[in-house]
């Protein structure tokens, strides 16, 4: 039987080199796969994990709808402020909308547009608070100072009779009625805002109350000047 020829030294080295290269390549592949898993658990952008819990119970109330629009603690006064101010603002928008086509005084028309431009965003803001707090958007109509004869007790809400009279007025008569009714209506908003500023707890709600007091007090002064010259 004839013995097989022995491989040359060069052939042996070439085989060993190929085997070593294959082992190194396999190791690199495994490391890359493991690295992907490790990297997935690392924080690269400073973003909190979606599994992280809310920072406070109040933040939890707004979970599922983004950041809480009124973060921090709140109390019953904050809730009532939003629940009562929303329909109060809505009535101011209804009154202001009547100025178009009825008002004669250009300053009345301009002020009505300013009121709409300011109060509509505030309604959206307060609605978002109540949603985040897990509270209903309306409250029983037995609160407030009871100035409106048909308002159910809400502070200085215009009655159905007042609204009908405003709708029926035209020109200078509308201007005078609008100014008189809006002055009283604004005073009701200021009263509610002052109560929120004094007894509310949520910083965002109290800041809006400050804004209402500042803005609507200035508008009352303007309306009184207009009424004096009509």
Q: Which residue has the tokens 């707090």?
A: 133
What mean pLDDT comes out for the span 210-229? Answer: 97
Please give the share of the chain, as a percent, with pLDDT higher than 70: 64
**pLDDT per residue as tens digits for the range 89-115:** 999 999 999 999 999 999 999 999 999
Sequence-distant (≥ 6) Cβ neighbours of residue 153 within 8 angstroms: 141, 142, 143, 144, 145, 146
The two structure tokens encoding residue 98: 């009547």
pLDDT at 184 over 50: yes
How would DSSP label each residue in 26-55?
HHHHHHHHHHHHHHHTS-SS-PPPTTSPPS
pLDDT at 218 over 60: yes
Which residues sit opposite 103 in a β-bridge? 171
* Cα–Cα distance list, 171 to 92, 101, 125, 226 (Å): 19, 9, 34, 14
**pLDDT per residue as tens digits for the range 133-167:** 999 988 765 444 333 333 344 568 999 999 999 99
Say what the pTM is.
Answer: 0.67
**pLDDT per residue as tens digits for the range 45-74:** 333 322 333 333 333 334 344 578 999 999
Sequence-distant (≥ 6) Cβ neighbours of residue 187 within 8 angstroms: 156, 220
Helix (H) / strand (E) containing 68:
none
> Which pLDDT value is given to residue 27?
47
Q: What is the mean pLDDT of the chain?
A: 77
Q: Which structural domains are found in the chain, ordered by start? A: 74-133+150-229 (1.20.1260.10)
pLDDT at 210 over 50: yes
What mean pLDDT comes out for the span 171-197? Answer: 97
> Which pLDDT value is given to residue 14?
52
* Cα–Cα distance list, 104 to 121, 157, 166, 209, 221 (Å): 27, 24, 13, 32, 20
**pLDDT per residue as tens digits for the range 69-88:** 999 999 999 999 999 999 99
> Which pLDDT value is given to residue 139?
76
Assess contact for 177 and 168: CB atoms under 8 A.
Answer: no
pLDDT at 121 over 90: yes
Assess contact for 119 and 149: CB atoms under 8 A.
Answer: no
Q: Which residue has the tokens 């303007």?
A: 222
């Amino acid at each position: 039987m004839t013995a097989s020829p022995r491989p040359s030294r060069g052939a042996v080295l070439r085989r060993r080199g190929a085997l070593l290269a294959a082992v190194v390549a396999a190791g690199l592949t495994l490391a890359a796969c493991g690295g992907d898993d490790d990297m997935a658990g690392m924080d690269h952008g400073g973003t909190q994990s979606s599994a992280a819990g809310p920072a406070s119970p109040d933040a939890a109330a707004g979970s599922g709808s983004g950041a809480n629009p009124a973060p921090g603690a709140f109390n019953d006064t904050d809730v009532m402020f939003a629940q009562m101010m929303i329909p109060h603002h809505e009535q101011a928008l209804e009154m202001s909308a009547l100025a178009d086509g009825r008002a004669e005084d250009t300053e009345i028309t301009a002020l009505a547009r300013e009121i709409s431009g300011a109060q509509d965003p505030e309604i959206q803001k307060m609605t978002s608070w109540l949603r985040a707090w897990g509270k209903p958007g309306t409250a029983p109509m037995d609160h407030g100072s009871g100035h409106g004869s048909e308002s159910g007790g809400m502070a200085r809400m215009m009655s159905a009779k007042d609204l009908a009279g405003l709708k029926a007025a035209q020109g200078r008569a509308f201007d005078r009625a609008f100014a008189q009714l809006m002055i009283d209506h604004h005073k009701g908003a200021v009263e509610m805002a002052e109560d929120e500023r004094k007894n509310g707890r949520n910083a965002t709600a109290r800041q809006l109350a400050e804004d209402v007091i500042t803005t609507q007090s200035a508008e009352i002064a303007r309306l009184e000047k207009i009424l004096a010259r009509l």
